């Protein structure tokens, strides 16, 4: 009975692992054969299947991770550390790690190039860090990974802390190809191949999409009709279309990758969302029309004489100017926080499965994690939609041409 | 300091939940009343919900991240 | 906030910006433009086809209406022609009737006039003949009567007697 109890949590995992094997096979390509090619099957069952895959894989990864060294830390800290580590970008692409007979961890994955600017370009493989366990020595400088960041240290790898336990070592400029960068690159490549294929299939089949394109074309049309045209207007929507389409699929795909056991959290990384929001910000303000700027600096227009407007503008104009920055800022925080929170919740619930280790607790947290995973799949789409939608809305404000003064 | 923060975060979540729930409910009502305006109502609903959510996140960050 | 700033990684930001902008530009050229163009083209095609069908339908309606109009016109024309013909016929008949009547009347009048004049002439002739006859008779009678004196006297007496009676 006791034996059963401890293995209980792995029952489901074992079951799903068979699917996982199919899923991981490289010749299957990236997700496509499983959930995009055959749309005739009932949508819900496929949806559940995919969700189950994602969840099981993450659970598998966490299980392998947390099993390792039960001697050193307790399970709770182990899981917390794992989640913390997962949420951050990392310098090597590790899928999971297993404990070897001699007690050392063996990481399955591959190292990525580290590119540092520290009085000259330093390029080396991240395998030199040995997953943060060793000090890398390059050209006489020593570097060490601490909480997924590279610090410059002495030969022994000492890290100095301030009173808040923050590392005070010097940080070289880090332009490494991290896991996130690899995923961005893969997503970009996937998108390029996918939509290049769609574009080509039009030429080949006389304006009728074929294959995967059939799934994506309605989405492209939806973005055009209900996001771009609805918010920007028939006349000016065209120049924003490339950005809107790219950003939608980019965020959506990366969100979906985040749910896979690849363990990437790209859209839940503040640097990525900042970059995306900056593009929106620049596009909004660089394409702003005269009316947009007039609306910013003269929101009341001719409805009041200048001496009446002056005291109001002392308050109004700073608010309007602040608004320019708050809009993209809310975009980036929303995406970041949603994805981050989703990952934390799913992984914590999976972690609970191994903390409870009981007949009631584990299936319960498994069910919860499963339900949250389902919601996360929707959130992945929703956040991409919201980001695109709000960007389009801001572009709409920026490119309006009619006199808007009477509306205030 | 942990417990006040968690309580604060809970309060924020309650507030945001009530706000977004109200938006969603009212939007449903509006759609039921005027099914032909579905698209416009949905857009307005999402924007309002997104704004509330944004403020909610900002507040959550304030509770969890500010050092006190 | 502090944690957010700490978490911000310049490298990832740099790569994300670079790759994303590159991706937008690349996709714009190789994917979005052809996709949107062909979708637009297809939609325009459908719109055109619909418009053409609508036009054809209208044309068809026009043709039907035209032929109907033509038919109607032809029918009206036929009607008018028939009516005219009937009128002409009626008029002709009426005219000829009238003429015949007038002619007849005239002839009758002439005949009457001729008869009258003949009658008058005949009457006059008879009158003159009667007068001659009576004069002759009277002459003969008188001649005979007056051959005898007594008879003459007697006549005178008779005549006188008549006058008295008057």
**Cβ pair B54:A386 closer than 8 A:** no
**Cβ pair B47:A389 closer than 8 A:** yes
More confident: A8 or A208: A208
Would strands A105-111 and A92-99 be described as parallel, antiparallel, or unpaired?
antiparallel
Neighbours, chain C (3 or more CB pairs < 8 A):
A, B
More confident: A260 or C98: C98
Q: How far apart are CA B31 and CA B38, in angstroms?
A: 6
- Contact C163/B at CB under 8 A: no
**Cβ pair B58:A230 closer than 8 A:** no
**Cβ pair A333:B58 closer than 8 A:** yes
C-beta separation of A350 from A62 below 8 A: yes
**Cβ pair A174:C17 closer than 8 A:** no
Of A378, A329, A370, nearest in space to A349 by CA: A370
Percent above pLDDT 70 for chain C: 96
Query: Of A128, A143, A178, which residue is a domain's last?
Result: A178
Query: Which pLDDT score is estimated for A106?
Result: 67
Residue showing tokens 């074929």: A210
Take residue A319 and report the two structure tokens written for it.
């608010």
More confident: A353 or A107: A353
Helices (H), A228-305: 230-232, 241-259, 270-286, 290-297
Tens digit of each residue's pLDDT (9 = 90 or more) over A159-216: 777 776 677 777 778 888 888 888 899 999 999 998 888 888 887 777 677 777 788 8
Fold of B7-64: F1FO ATP Synthase (1.20.20)
Query: Which pLDDT score is estimated for A50?
Result: 63
Of A9, A134, A146, nearest in space to A67 by CA: A9
> For residue A321, what pLDDT band results from cuts at 50, 70 and 90?
confident
Query: Which pLDDT score is estimated for B58?
Result: 75
Chain C hits for B66, CB-CB cut-off 8 Å, are 1-2
Query: Which pLDDT score is estimated for C75?
Result: 94
* Whole-Å CA distances, A86 to A58, A83, A146, A309, A351: 11, 5, 14, 53, 13
Chain C hits for B59, CB-CB cut-off 8 Å, are none
Across chain C, what does the average pLDDT equal? 87
Q: How far apart are CA A273 and CA A328, in angstroms?
A: 10
Query: Which pLDDT score is estimated for A296?
Result: 81
Query: Which pLDDT score is estimated for A30?
Result: 41
The pair phi, psi for residue C39, each rounded to 5°, is -65, -45
Number of CB pairs, chain B paired with chain C, less than 8 A apart: 10
**Cβ pair A334:B54 closer than 8 A:** yes
* Whole-Å CA distances, A54 to A155, A263, C110: 42, 10, 132
Does A162 share its domain with A34?
A: no
pLDDT at A130 over 80: no
Tell me the nearest-neighbour CA distance from A224 into chain B, angstroms.
14
Least confident of A6-10, A40-44, A381-385: A6-10
Across chain A, what does the average pLDDT equal? 75
Least confident of A149-163, A359-373, B22-36: A149-163
- List the beta bridge partners of residue A110: A93
Does A82 share its domain with A226?
A: yes
Q: How far apart are CA A352 and CA A362, in angstroms?
A: 7
Instruction: Measure CB to CB from residue C34 to each of A173, A180, A202 and give the nearest one.
Output: A202
C-beta separation of A89 from A148 below 8 A: yes
Calculate ∠ Cα A261-A265-A270, nearest 5°. Answer: 175
Q: How many CA atoms lie within 13 A of A2 on its CB side?
A: 0
Query: Which pLDDT score is estimated for A245?
Result: 93
Does A3 share its domain with A132?
A: no
* Whole-Å CA distances, C23 to A184, C14, C32: 10, 14, 11
pLDDT at C22 over 80: yes
Does A274 share its domain with A336?
A: yes
Query: Which C-chain residues 4-63 have CB contacts (< 8 A) with chain B?
Result: 4
The pair phi, psi for residue A115, each rounded to 5°, is -120, 115
Chain C hits for A200, CB-CB cut-off 8 Å, are 34
Query: Which pLDDT score is estimated for C77?
Result: 93
C-beta separation of A68 from A82 below 8 A: no
pLDDT at A364 over 70: yes
Q: How far apart are CA A54 and CA A6, in angstroms?
A: 23
More confident: A83 or A279: A279
**Cβ pair A389:B67 closer than 8 A:** no
* Whole-Å CA distances, A25 to A17, A18, A21, A73, A211: 12, 11, 6, 34, 21
Tell me the nearest-neighbour CA distance from A385 into chain B, angstroms.
10
Q: How far apart are CA C68 and CA C57, in angstroms?
A: 16
Domain count, chain A: 2
Query: Of A118, A153, A178, which residue is a domain's last?
Result: A178
**Cβ pair B43:A333 closer than 8 A:** no
Of A348, A342, A340, A335, nearest in space to A384 by CA: A335
Helices (H), chain B: 2-33, 38-65
C-beta separation of A62 from A82 below 8 A: yes
Does A259 share its domain with A288?
A: yes
Take residue A299 and report the two structure tokens written for it.
């929101």
Does A118 share its domain with A28?
A: no
Query: Which A-chain residues 170-189 have CB contacts (< 8 A) with chain C?
Result: 173-178, 180-181, 184-185, 188
Take residue C59 and report the two structure tokens written for it.
């044309």
pTM to 2 decimal places? 0.70
Least confident of A3-12, C13-22, C101-110, C140-149: A3-12
Element (H, E) at A362: helix A361-398
* Whole-Å CA distances, C131 to C127, C140, C155: 6, 14, 22
> For residue C73, what pLDDT band results from cuts at 50, 70 and 90?
very high
Judged by DSSP in three states, B52 sits in: helix
Query: Which pLDDT score is estimated for A40?
Result: 47
Element (H, E) at A116: strand A113-117
Chain B hits for A393, CB-CB cut-off 8 Å, are 47
Q: What range does the domain containing A136 cover? A: 62-68+91-178
Query: Of A146, A178, A210, which residue is a domain's last?
Result: A178
Percent above pLDDT 70 for chain A: 75
Instruction: Measure CB to CB from residue A246 to each of C14, C27, C36 and give the nearest one.
Output: C27
Query: Which A-chain residues 229-268 have CB contacts (< 8 A) with chain B?
Result: 230-231
pLDDT at A82 over 80: no
Q: How far apart are CA A53 and CA A17, in angstroms?
A: 9
Query: Which pLDDT score is estimated for B1?
Result: 59
Does A393 share its domain with A361?
A: yes
The interface predicted TM-score of the complex, written ipTM, equals 0.75
Arithmetic mean of pLDDT, A26-37: 40
Dihedral angle at the C-alpha atoms of A131, A137, A143, A144, nearest 10 degrees? 30
Q: How far apart are CA A135 and CA A391, in angstroms?
A: 44
Chain C hits for A203, CB-CB cut-off 8 Å, are 34, 38
Does A157 share its domain with A242?
A: no
- Contact A382/C at CB under 8 A: no
Query: Which pLDDT score is estimated for A53?
Result: 64
């Amino acid at each position: 009975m006791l034996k059963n109890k401890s293995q209980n949590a792995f029952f489901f995992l074992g079951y799903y692992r068979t699917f996982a094997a199919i899923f991981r096979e490289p010749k299957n390509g990236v997700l496509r054969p499983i959930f995009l090619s055959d749309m005739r099957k009932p949508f819900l069952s496929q949806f559940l299947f995919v969700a189950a895959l994602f969840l099981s894989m993450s659970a598998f990864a966490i299980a392998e991770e947390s099993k390792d060294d039960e001697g050193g830390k307790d399970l709770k800290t182990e899981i917390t550390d794992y989640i913390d580590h997962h949420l951050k970008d990392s310098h090597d692409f590790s899928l999971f790690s297993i404990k070897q007979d001699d007690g050392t961890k063996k990481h399955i994955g591959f190292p990525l190039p580290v590119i540092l600017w520290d009085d000259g370009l330093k390029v080396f493989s991240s395998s030199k860090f040995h997953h943060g366990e060793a000090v890398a020595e390059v050209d006489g400088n020593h570097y060490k990974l601490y909480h997924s960041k590279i610090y410059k240290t002495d030969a022994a790898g000492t890290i100095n802390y301030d009173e808040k336990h923050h590392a005070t070592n010097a940080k070289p400029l880090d332009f490494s190809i991290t896991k996130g960068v690899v995923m961005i690159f893969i997503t970009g490549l996937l998108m390029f191949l996918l939509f290049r294929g769609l574009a080509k299939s039009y030429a080949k089949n006389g304006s009728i999409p074929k294959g995967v394109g059939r799934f994506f074309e309605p989405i492209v049309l939806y973005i055009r009709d209900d996001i771009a045209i609805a918010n920007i207007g028939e006349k000016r929507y065209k120049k924003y279309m490339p950005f809107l389409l790219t950003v939608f699929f980019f965020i959506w795909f990366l969100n979906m990758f985040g749910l896979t056991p690849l363990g990437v959290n790209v859209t839940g990384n503040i640097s990525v969302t900042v970059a995306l929001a900056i593009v929106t910000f620049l596009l909004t303000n660089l394409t702003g029309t005269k009316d947009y700027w007039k609306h910013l600096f003269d929101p009341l227009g001719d409805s009041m004489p200048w001496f009446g407007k002056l005291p109001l503008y002392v308050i109004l104009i700073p608010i309007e100017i602040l608004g320019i920055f708050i809009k993209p800022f809310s975009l980036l925080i929303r995406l970041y926080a949603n994805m981050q929170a989703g990952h934390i919740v799913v992984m914590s619930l999976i972690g609970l499965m191994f903390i409870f280790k009981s007949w009631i607790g584990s299936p319960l947290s498994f069910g919860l994690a499963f339900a949250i995973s389902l919601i996360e799949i929707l959130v992945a789409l929703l956040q991409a939609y919201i980001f695109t939608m709000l960007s389009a809305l801001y572009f709409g404000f920026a490119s309006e041409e009619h006199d808007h003064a009477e509306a205030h | 300091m942990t417990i006040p923060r968690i309580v604060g975060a809970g309060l924020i979540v309650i507030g945001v939940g009530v706000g977004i729930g109200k938006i969603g409910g009212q939007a449903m009502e509006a759609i039921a009343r005027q099914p032909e305006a579905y698209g416009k109502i949905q857009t307005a609903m999402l924007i309002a919900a997104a704004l509330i959510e944004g403020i909610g996140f900002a507040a959550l960050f304030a509770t969890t991240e500010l050092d006190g | 906030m502090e944690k957010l700033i700490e978490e911000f990684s310049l490298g990832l930001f740099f790569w994300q910006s670079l790759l994303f902008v590159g991706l937008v530009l690349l996709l714009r050229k190789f994917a979005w433009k052809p996709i949107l163009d062909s979708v637009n083209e297809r939609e325009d095609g459908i719109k055109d086809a619909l418009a053409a069908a609508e036009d054809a339908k209208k044309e068809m309606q026009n043709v039907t209406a035209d032929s109907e109009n033509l038919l109607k016109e032809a029918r009206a024309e036929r009607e008018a022609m028939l009516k005219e013909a009937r009128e002409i016929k009626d008029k002709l008949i009426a005219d000829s009737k009238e003429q015949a009547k007038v002619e007849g009347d005239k002839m009758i009048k002439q005949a009457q006039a001729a008869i009258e004049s003949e009658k008058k002439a005949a009457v006059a002739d008879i009158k003159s003949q009667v007068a001659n006859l009576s004069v002759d008779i009277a002459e003969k009678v008188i001649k005979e009567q007056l051959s005898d004196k007594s008879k003459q006297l007697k006549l005178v007496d008779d005549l006188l007697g008549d006058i008295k009676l008057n």
